[in-house]
Structure 1
């Protein structure tokens, strides 16, 4: 004969209630149902009051849904490598080039970033010269609109 696990007895179940500082839609609906069940039958709740409470409940539910949607949007933007590295489009980057077949190091090259994509969660910079480079392989980033090749004018104006 099988034995009954004593931990399953009702007397052994946790009956302590853990209060929550937040009032959610489930709690709001419970309060409304208790209020309806315990109202004075000789003086029932006014229709307008009931409609007002239901409208409040609906607004609360919509705000919670909107908050969840915004949180999801923010999280997806924080995680996306494309968005994280999109500011590099138009900048010139310097990187160590490799031979794709042998894996041998080639010269250090520079090219302008024309697009950013992702593969397996990694940001890949697509360059003007046709190369594709992982973002973490970049050695230097320069703004091409700032000319760094010119030496400052050493002549003083007198």
Structure 2
């Protein structure tokens, strides 16, 4: 004969709960199920009231899913290199140039940033002089708008 796991007895279940300030879909479903279990059998819950509560539950679930999606969108935008370096558009930057054959450092050039793009997770700055450089290779940033004022 199989034995019953004593940890599953109701008396062994934790009766303490930690209060929270959010009512989620699981808590809403528990309330609804408790309400259904404890209703008067001679006077059951009105169909319209039940449908209204299920509609509320569905709306709650959709709102929670939408909140989660927005949180994911915001998080992905915050780590995007394009967003991170977009403030450089319109600034004058200095960057090193290298000999393509030898890899030897030639000089430091400057140009205005006209766009920011992303390649393999790295931010690439498109410059007014036609060059494209990785954002992490920038040596100096000069705000050209401050000079015009």
| Higher-helix-fraction structure | 2
Structure 2 match to 1:47: 47
Match of 1:120 in 2: 120
Q: Which of these two proteins has the greater Rg computed from alpha carbons?
A: 1
CA contact (8 A) 2:93 2:141 kept: yes
Tell me the number of residue pairs that the alignment of Structure 1 and Structure 2 aligns. 140
Are residues 98 and 37 of structure 1, via their aligned partners in 2, closer, same or farther at CA, if it must alter by over 3 Å?
A: same
RMSD between aligned alpha carbons? 2.4
Alignment of 1:2-151 (within 5 A): 10-11=5-6, 16-17=13-14, 19=17, 21=20, 22-147=22-147
Q: Take 2:121 and 2:5, find their aligned partners in 1: how far apart are those partners?
A: 49
SS at match of 2:139: strand
Gaps of 5+ in 2: none
Alpha-carbon shift at residue 68 of structure 1 (Å):
0.4
TM-score by length of 2: 0.79
- Any idea what the Cα deviations from partners look like across 1:5-43, whole Å, max 9, x if unmatched? xxxx83467964474535321232232123223311111
TM-score normalised by length of structure 1: 0.75
Instruction: Note the residue ranges of structure 1 that are not aligned, 5 or more in a row.
Output: 1-8, 149-158
